Amino acid sequence: MKTLLGGLRSRILLLVLCVGLIPVSISGFIFFHFYERLGTAPDVVSITSEAQLLSNQIVTSGYLQDPSVESLNTQFSALSNIYTGRVIVCDASLKVIKDSYNIYEGRTFVWENAIRSLRGETTTLLDRDSHCIIVTVPILAGDSSEPHGVLLFTKSTEYLEQNSHFFMNLIFYLILVGAIISAITALLASERLTRPLRNLSQSLAQVQEEESPRILSISGTREVADITEKFNTILMRMKGIDDSRQEFVSNVSHELKTPLTSMKVLADSINSMGGDAPLELYQEFMADITTEIDRETKIINDLLSLVRMDRSGSSLNISSVNINELVEMILKRLRPIAEKQQIQLVLESFRPITAEIDEVKISLAISNLIENGIKYNSPQGFVHVSLNSDHRYCYIRVEDSGLGIPEEDIGRIFERFFRVDKSHSRKIGGTGLGLAITKNAIDMHHGQIQVHSVLGEGSCFDIRLPLNYIEDEREEKTNYKP
Ligand code: ADP
């Protein structure tokens, strides 16, 4: 978690820094890219218009033939001063007629831009080495499109460079200030944004150390509150599982101990008589011990069935089974027990049903229900089993005219070791595991079981099983009301 938070923090830091610095740097770059062009544009416009005015005068005054025209020479030297630069006048053969620096006069000025101007173009060049802009303009007169020569102006750009130094410094300081502000913001933001996570991490660490974990208080950002809430739900579920596991273990120990205690009491009583006990008493005690052993065996068998179901999870041994035949077999096996207790067993089958089930597990589930119907019944009562189906499901109903279940206990009868009347249930051989096994088996088939019972009148258990076994549980999560 520490490294995670460290990572998150540095990422937020980096992000805020980038968001703060990138726009300033990009604007600085764009500014410098366009600054020189924008800065020289007005000069180029004024030089060009000046040159156009002059070129007319040059042609009309015959300056190209005789460069001693005073008024023009004065203008050239004035312009040269104003521009802190140079004025060069060339004729049509690019021979320099006038150079305000008096260097090139009489020479032929062969330069690419001058040649282009001789063809009618106005050219501009920013010469960074000489710190000036050079503008060449064709000398035109009236409507004539044929240049008579070329006028060249240079203008110093030192004022631009001074300004650009100033702006460069300004932008540097802006970036620096931006970086400092971004760094402070980034630090504060990363600290603030990761604080709820750090708090959650601390609470989790406390939970880890505590033996009985407590619910975390829900605070922080919406996302953190959401995680905390989900964590609390998982925590409660785990606590529930742990509680029921502990309860199960203590129930198992208790249930297994009870028959052993009875056996020990019986054996001790016989022993204490030191061989003087009458034979009938021996026989009676031995019969009681056998009953307790049977009971212990039944509890262990039921427990094994449950554990096997829990462990095997979805590994069912699925095959196509004739449900009518299966129920008939179960009834055949249980009929002697029912007759012994004068309970009438009735099967009502509405149609032949074949379903994809684990025969052993479903058989155990149905047997448990019918056995309960017999066990918790009174003489002359009945257990009525009915079978039906539609295109998707098979419906099995086990109805009895027995004791019924109190309303407040109906919600608990599928719990392991739960018995409505412990002493009565124990007397008739109940372990409290039968319905838990039944429910497990039905759940594994993604089926549903419902119970309806009226105390003193009887109970009715309804099972719905999919005809075709489907591995994905979600497909069968529809509400079932028999
Ligand atoms: P047991 O082995 O004790 O029968 P079960 O899990 O099968 O355990 O049943 C749990 C309890 O539910 C029983 O102890 C009994 O009190 C009650 N019960 C189950 N089925 C019936 C029924 N058909 N009629 C009345 N009570 C029932």
Best probe residue, ligand 1, of 248, 309, 364, 372 (max atoms within 8 Å of C-beta): 372
What residues does ligand 1 touch, defined as CB less than 6 Å away? 368, 372-373, 376, 400, 402-405, 413, 418-421, 425, 430-436, 459
Q: Which atom of ligand 1 is nearest to the CA of 302?
A: 2
Ligand 1 centroid to Cα of residue 268, in Å, is 33
Angstrom distance (rounded) from CA 288 to CA 223: 64
Ligand 1 centroid to Cα of residue 145, in Å, is 117
Half-sphere exposure of 19 (CA within 13 A, CB side): 13
Q: Which atom of ligand 1 is nearest to the CA of 422?
A: 14
Residue with CA nearest ligand 1 atom 25: 404
Q: What is the largest CA-CA distance in the chain?
A: 165
Specify the pTM.
0.57
**Average pLDDT, consecutive stretches of 10 residues, N- to C-terminus, the chain (482 residues):** 61 79 79 76 86 86 89 90 90 92 89 91 88 90 80 86 79 84 83 80 76 71 83 85 82 85 89 81 89 89 82 76 97 94 95 95 95 94 96 96 93 89 70 91 94 95 93 62 73
Q: Six-digit token pair at 52?
A: 């156009």
Q: Which atom of ligand 1 is nearest to the CA of 419?
A: 14
Ligand 1 centroid to Cα of residue 412, in Å, is 10
Contact at 8 Å (CB) between 472 and 407? no
Best probe residue, ligand 1, of 425, 426, 454, 461 (max atoms within 8 Å of C-beta): 425
Ligand 1 centroid to Cα of residue 238, in Å, is 28
H/E segment holding residue 134? strand 132-139
Angstrom distance (rounded) from CA 385 to CA 324: 11
Residue 151, strand partner residues: 89, 137
Going along the chain from its start, the domains and CATH numbers come out as 2-164 (3.30.450.20), 314-466 (3.30.565.10)
Per the listing, tokens 């009915």 go with 386
- Strand pairing category for 393-400 and 318-322: unpaired
Number of H helices, E strands in the chain: 11, 12
Angstrom distance (rounded) from CA 390 to CA 466: 10
Q: Which atom of ligand 1 is nearest to the CA of 403?
A: 25
Angstrom distance (rounded) from CA 38 to CA 77: 27
Query: Which pLDDT does position 169 carry in this prediction?
Result: 85
Angstrom distance (rounded) from CA 320 to CA 357: 6
Task: Give the distance, in angstroms, between the CA of residue 20 and the centroid of all CA atoms in the same chain.
Answer: 29
